[in-house]
Amino acid sequence: MIDPARILERLTELGVDLYTGVPDSLLKEFGRHVVAAVPRGRHIIAANEGASVGIALGHYLRTGRPALVYLQNSGFGNAVNPLLSLADREVYGIPMLLLIGWRGQPGVKDEPQHVKQGRVMTAMLDAMELPWGVLPTDPDEADRLLTSAVERAEADQTPFAILVEKDAFSPSAAPTSQPDTPDLSSREEALQRLAEAVGDDAIVVSTTGMLSRELFEHRETTGRSGARDFLTVGGMGHASAIALGIAKREPEREVWCFDGDGALLMHLGGLAVIADHAPRNYLHVVFNNGVHDSVGGQPTSIGVVDIPAIARAAGYRSAARLSDLADLPAAVADMRGSGGPALLELRVRPGNRPGIGRPTRTPAESKRTFMDAIR
């Protein structure tokens, strides 16, 4: 294992002085150390991976020094366009390092949504003609790879990708810091109360991460099938669009999107499209805990956002915020009364109960069950 502090120290010696990206579970210990050790002016947690590439590009244009972009390989698709159409050596030629958590690496057991991405990851890098390497677990070898990566990126004016395997980083000694929100309910409790208020007849599309796992476990615990739940186990930020696609062809039932603050920020422009096209049965709830909970609890930028105001400005019929779950039944009734698209921001505290299970159905089984249930 590699000490994240040593990696950060070596990168600093090599002239890398800006860190930007979207948090990843395999990079969790590195991310914790960056949050604690790098001043906020030199560390930007971006809304999505493509924006991180843009930030790194702008940094290089002003300073002439490469930045480091960190991401999970499941989000690499968001970065492909700016990497090829902007940073590529045949366009602007912008050196940067890409530190990529290699989920679904061949031979390493992982969740089904990561298997295909992991298998084709190196082929994608080769097809894009990006130089790449795998971060060694030996610290001295890791130093040498980082040195050659920066030298190659600068000499060839190109991004250089470094793949990080599972358990590559040792635990960071940096303290974990999360918002102080003792008066807020847990996301799991809020989710259970919302599910009860929504009822069993509605269609629910839930966002990726802990929220979908908690919803699946709630259905199992209460003896409900959850057949009309679509658990978006991958594709962060796309649950609201999936819900829109269903709602446009669903004349009979309410379609609820159970979303997260990080997922909302990732594709915030979708609010305007939902407002423009969504039918009155489209109802949108954002669970806002202010962090990327499933990958280490790093903060999002949601603290500067008035979510209901943005939704109303985008064209939602109504939008509100609440923190007290006692007000939840009335808020759900108000959403139904106004008609959609309607949004509710539910403020909850970070963290989750240990031992939350994962869906026991495969994605293909879930798809068939869901489609059969709503036909």
> Once rounded to an integer, what is the mean pLDDT over residues 131-146?
96
> Once rounded to an integer, what is the mean pLDDT over residues 256-275?
96
Residue 255 reports pLDDT greater than 90: yes
Topology, domain 187-374: Rossmann fold (3.40.50)
Give residue 223's pLDDT: 85
Domain-by-domain residue ranges, the chain? 4-164, 187-374
pLDDT band at 26 (very low <50, low <70, confident <90, very high): very high
Superfamily of domain 4-164: Thiamin diphosphate (ThDP)-binding fold, Pyr/PP domains (3.40.50.970)
Q: Which helix (H) or strand (E) holds 127?
A: helix 112-127
Instruction: Report DSSP state, residue 320.
Output: E
Same topology between domain 4-164 and domain 187-374: yes
* Helix intervals (H) in 128-174: 139-156
Give residue 353's pLDDT: 83
User: Is 373:228 a contact under the CB 8 Å cutoff?
Assistant: yes
Residue 179 reports pLDDT greater than 70: no
> Once rounded to an integer, what is the mean pLDDT over residues 144-148?
98
Give residue 270's pLDDT: 96
Give residue 303's pLDDT: 86
Distance CA 128, CA 40 (A): 32
Give residue 109's pLDDT: 92
Hey, what amino acid is at 325?
Answer: L
Beta strand ranges found along the chain (DSSP E): 19-21, 43-45, 68-72, 96-101, 132-134, 159-164, 203-206, 229-231, 255-260, 282-288, 291-292, 298-299, 318-322, 342-347
Indicate the pTM of the whole model: 0.91
For the chain, the average pLDDT equals 93
pLDDT band at 308 (very low <50, low <70, confident <90, very high): very high
Distance CA 211, CA 294 (A): 9
